[in-house]
Amino acid sequence: MAVFGYGRVSTKEQTTANQRREIEAAGYAVDYWHADEGVSGKVTAAQRPQFAKMLNQIRDGETLVVTKLDRLGRDAQDVGATIKMLAARRIEVIVLQLGKLDLTSAAGKLMLTMLAAVAEMERDLLVERTQSGLARAKAEGKTLGRPSSTTDADRRAITEAHTNGVSISALARIHNLSRATVMRIVKPAA
């Protein structure tokens, strides 16, 4: 029976090479390697191009190895559904960070449920802390977001010049701005 390895990274700047090396260093001879690079964990497993391709290739009773649980999905529902679907096909799912534990077994399902719940709570707490930090910064009067590329004086000059008939393209060249920026200044949203 074949051993399938699967890796995923969220950005194109990252690579799944380390994940494959980790799987092989753990003693698994990977017969088929599938990797989604630049694909967020928020995308459900079945909608990831390489994961879907792997699902079509892997046969019932074979083995899937990943380095970490979050390679299979980001929330408890997605991971649970993926494991359940693989278990129905008797595909052994090995997650290296959990040791040699088949997630499709009874003990594996229990461990999976607990870990997924903890991971989801951690993500919720991270979002909560981020929102709290943003609210605090706003309350302290800090300006959030990208700094403005123009000053109040620049915006007044651009508006006045446009009123006097200078084109948006000419204003963009003069002030070294994009046409979109000039348009936002001279035609503010209602």
Q: Which pair of structure tokens corresponds to residue 32?
A: 């088929």
Given the residues 10, 40, 148, 178, select the one marked as catalytic.
Answer: 10
How many alpha carbons lie under 13 Å from residue 15 in its C-beta half-sphere? 5
10 is catalytic: yes
Active site (catalytic) residues: 10
